[in-house]
């Protein structure tokens, strides 16, 4: 309960800072709109089955790129003010730090996915089939976003003090999140086609999300602890 309370307090603080300054959300939404414009120009001539087959890829490719951008900036405030190490040595559960960042990142990715879905619905009438089962669609977006951020937040924290963090994050993030995106793509296509097992596919996405979140919480401390110790040793020398 102490760790959960700390997670919610840290997440609340980050969300308040984000609402005031829009450092992550504004950048991600701008990129989202640019991707939507490119999709509208590039795929505007497609119709029928070809367009329906392309919609899941449009959605999750944009989520992958926007999510990577959001995760790159997730620890930007701590990096700029050099407070990440101080946060690690503070009397706060380290898993609470991870939980707060993962919660904030998930909120940003879900918001961008919602904008992307609304844009696809506006640009392509065939995307209306996605909204026939809104509850399943919402569960799919939240579950896939959580799974994506669960992996990304660990590596974003590990690279929080690295100047090349953006490049390195993309290198390690996309291969590890490829299974999540594939599960989400299959589930999205099942929703568009009205497949009877669409709920099963959404459940598989959530199973992957729970598995990745469990693994991430297990390895988070061992990933981030060497960062302050290394810097401390160099300073002592």
Q: Dihedral angle at the C-alpha atoms of 99, 118, 130, 28, nearest 10 degrees?
A: -30
Alpha carbon distance, N-terminus to C-terminus of the chain: 40
Residue 129 pLDDT class (50, 70, 90 cuts): confident
Mean of pLDDT values over 102-116 = 88
Mean of pLDDT values over 159-183 = 69
pLDDT at 86: 62
Half-sphere exposure of 51 (CA within 13 A, CB side): 19
Residue 144 pLDDT class (50, 70, 90 cuts): very high
pLDDT at 234: 47
Residue 22 pLDDT class (50, 70, 90 cuts): confident
Residue 231 pLDDT class (50, 70, 90 cuts): very low
pLDDT at 207: 92
> pLDDT tens digits, residue range 36-71?
888 888 887 777 777 888 889 889 988 888 888 777
User: Alpha-carbon distance 110 to 121, whole Å?
Assistant: 16
Residue 197 pLDDT class (50, 70, 90 cuts): confident
Mean of pLDDT values over 161-187 = 73
The C-alpha R_g of the chain, in whole angstroms, comes to 19
Mean pLDDT of all residues belonging to the chain:
78
CB 174 within 8 A of CB 64: yes
Q: Which two tokens mark 21?
A: 């300054």
């Amino acid at each position: 309960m102490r760790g959960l309370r700390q997670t919610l307090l840290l997440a609340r603080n980050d969300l308040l800072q984000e609402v005031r300054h829009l450092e992550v959300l504004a950048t991600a939404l701008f990129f989202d709109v640019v991707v939507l414009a490119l999709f509208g120009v590039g795929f505007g001539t497609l119709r029928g089955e070809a367009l329906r087959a392309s919609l899941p890829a449009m959605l999750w490719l944009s989520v992958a790129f926007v999510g990577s951008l959001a995760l790159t900036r997730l620890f930007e405030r701590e990096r700029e003010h050099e407070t990440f190490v101080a946060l690690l040595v503070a009397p706060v559960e380290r898993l609470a730090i991870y939980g707060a960042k993962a919660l904030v990142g998930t909120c940003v990715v879900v918001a961008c996915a919602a904008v992307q879905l609304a844009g696809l619905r506006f640009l392509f009438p065939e995307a209306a089939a996605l909204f026939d089962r809104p509850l399943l669609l919402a569960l799919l977006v939240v579950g896939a976003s959580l799974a994506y951020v669960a992996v990304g937040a660990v590596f974003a924290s590990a690279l929080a003090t690295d100047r090349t963090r953006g490049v390195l994050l993309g290198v390690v993030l996309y291969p590890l999140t490829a299974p999540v995106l594939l599960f989400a793509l299959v589930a999205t296509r099942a929703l568009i086609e009205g497949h009877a097992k669409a709920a099963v596919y959404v459940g598989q996405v959530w199973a992957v999300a729970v598995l990745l979140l469990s693994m991430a919480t297990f390895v988070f401390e061992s990933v981030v602890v060497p960062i302050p110790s290394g810097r401390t040793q160099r300073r002592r020398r």
